[in-house]
Amino acid sequence: MDASLGNLFARSALDTAARSTKPPRYKCGISKACPEKHFAFKMASGAANVVGPKICLEDNVLMSGVKNNVGRGINVALVNGKTGEVLDTKYFDMWGGDVAPFIEFLKSIQDGTIVLMGTYDDGATKLNDEARRLIAELGSTSITTLAFRDNWVFCGGKGIKTKSPFEQHIKNNKDTNKYEGWPEVVEMEGCIPQKQD
CB-based contact 37:193 (threshold 8 Å): yes
- The span from the first CA to the last CA of the chain, in angstroms, equals 65
pTM assigned to the model: 0.84
Residue 11 has pLDDT above 80, yes or no: no
**pLDDT tens profile 12-43:** 554 554 555 676 788 999 999 999 999 999 99
Strand order in the sheet with 113-120: 86-92, 73-80, 113-120, 151-157, 166-170
**pLDDT tens profile 138-195:** 999 999 999 888 889 999 999 988 899 999 887 777 777 666 766 677 889 999 999 8
Distances (CA, A) of 57 to 6, 37, 65, 136: 46, 14, 16, 22
